[in-house]
Amino acid sequence: MSDLFAIADRAGTTASAASTALRRLEAGDAARFHLLINDWEICRLLPEAPFPYPESLARAWIDTAIADRAAGRAYEFAILDAASGAMIGSAGLRLAKSGDSASLGYWLGRRHWGKGHAREAAGQLIRWGFAELPVATIAATVAEDNAASLAVLRRIGFAETGTGRARFIGRPGERLPVRHFAITREALAFRDPETSQEVSGSGRMIDAMKPLLTVAACALVDKRGDILLARRPEGKKLAGLWEFPGGKLVAGETPEAALVRELAEEIGVAVREADLAPFAFASHAYEAFHLLMPLYLCRRWRGAPEAREGQTLAWVSPARLDEYPMPPADRPLIPLLRDFL
Ligand SMILES: Nc1nc2c([nH]c(=O)n2[C@@H]2O[C@H](COP(=O)(O)OP(=O)(O)OP(=O)(O)O)[C@@H](O)[C@H]2O)c(=O)[nH]1
């Protein structure tokens, strides 16, 4: 798991020149954390922040964050201005008890508002979360009067799931109106990591207009009957999901030739076309294209598979395929493999 990541707007994608990084929150951050958060304009928007915010609470909060990270309960980061390296806020993901979802929280020191840092930090954190944590959904709850944060969540792809009321300890009395948001791994997967825009660009495409994408995929099956899966690295579409090695056909290529090429490029194994047995296919309407994916089985190859493109590889028994989150197109293939192998 990487603990530091930097995000910079690419020229031309946004007008703002903000550049933001995240790193693991440390005990030494307490004084700066306190200086930034002890501001009514921030505390009033955070459900658990009293005002004034005591320095002892900043220290205790960070100690808890460090313990929670060690226990795998929550992952809290300092938001940095990448240009100066200074801490400007904090952001984190807390896992739900069920383990399959997390909640996002973040705040920025007042002087750093309006420069795109919150959007960048929150966007990068959810991409990190879907790549590194076993969660299918990330949720967030925002006070109705927190217009900037409502805009950030919408901009990075969160959808509103409902409204409610919640207690804000800095604003005693009545429970305040809040809005609930969520984003799924699949919804994020089809947003461009650089721009946070939907990859299709023109909104929802009608099915008839979608390009048909042919991708050849292969289940390598070892002597024990285990199948090789590859986990897509952070920064790519569908990051964090497990898939069968393979890839798009280039013009004029057969699926078999594409697989011989892709398996050599991606995982360094040599297969012969004669050892690729057609097995099944996936046909799935993604937001931006329709995927047609023939799946081959291969039990004979040369070389030990190695991750050449930043993926993580795993040999998985057919009975355990369910434990590995896969792209939606792949899901119907799992029972077929389980029955056959
Ligand atoms: N290889 C592979 N691709 C899959 C599977 N399931 C699935 O939906 N896909 C989709 O099929 C497409 C595969 O394209 P690819 O591997 O050649 O390309 P990529 O997204 O890595 O992009 P790039 O090569 O342009 O960087 C992706 O959109 C991927 O999400 C699968 O099991 N294996």
The whole-number average pLDDT for the span 190-203 is 54
Atom of ligand 1 nearest to the CA of 238: 30
Atom 16 of ligand 1, nearest CA residue: 247
The whole-number average pLDDT for the span 192-205 is 50
Give the model's pLDDT for residue 209.
52
pLDDT digits (tens, 9 = 90+) for 149-188: 999 999 999 999 999 999 999 998 889 999 999 998 878 8
Strands 212-220 and 290-298: parallel
Q: Which residue has 């892709």 as its token pair? A: 262
Rg of the chain taking only CA atoms, in angstroms: 23
Give the model's pLDDT for residue 13.
31
pLDDT at 190 over 80: no
Dist. CA 243 → ligand 1 center (Å): 8
Atom of ligand 1 nearest to the CA of 289: 28
pLDDT digits (tens, 9 = 90+) for 267-304: 999 999 999 999 999 999 887 788 999 999 999 999 99
> What is the rounded CA–CA span in Å between residue 119 and residue 53?
25
Give the model's pLDDT for residue 132.
81
> How much is the ipTM here?
0.94
248, 284, 298: which to mutate for ligand 1, most atoms within 8 A of CB?
248
pLDDT digits (tens, 9 = 90+) for 295-328: 999 999 999 999 999 899 999 999 999 999 999 9
pLDDT at 10 over 50: no
The whole-number average pLDDT for the span 208-229 is 89
pTM of the model: 0.56
Dist. CA 336 → ligand 1 center (Å): 20
200, 212, 215, 250: which to mutate for ligand 1, most atoms within 8 A of CB?
215
Atom 14 of ligand 1, nearest CA residue: 247
Helix axes 55-71, 30-37, angle to 10 degrees: 120
pLDDT at 16 over 60: no
pLDDT digits (tens, 9 = 90+) for 116-149: 999 999 998 998 888 888 888 999 999 999 999 9
Domains of the chain by start residue, with CATH: 4-189 (3.40.630.30), 207-340 (3.90.79.10)
Distances (CA, A) of 160 to 67, 141, 142, 146, 181: 31, 9, 10, 14, 4
Give the model's pLDDT for residue 260.
98
The whole-number average pLDDT for the span 211-234 is 93
Q: What does DSSP assign to residue 316?
A: E
Instruction: Give residues (CB < 6 A) around ligand 1.
Output: 215, 217, 236-238, 243-244, 246-248, 291, 293, 327, 329-330
> What is the rounded CA–CA span in Å between residue 199 and residue 196?
9
> What is the rounded CA–CA span in Å between residue 283 and residue 296?
15
Dist. CA 71 → ligand 1 center (Å): 34
- Give the burial class of 102: count Cβ atoms within 10 A of its Cβ; 0-12 exposed, 13-18 middle, 19 or more buried: buried
Q: Alpha carbon 202 to chain centroid distance? A: 22
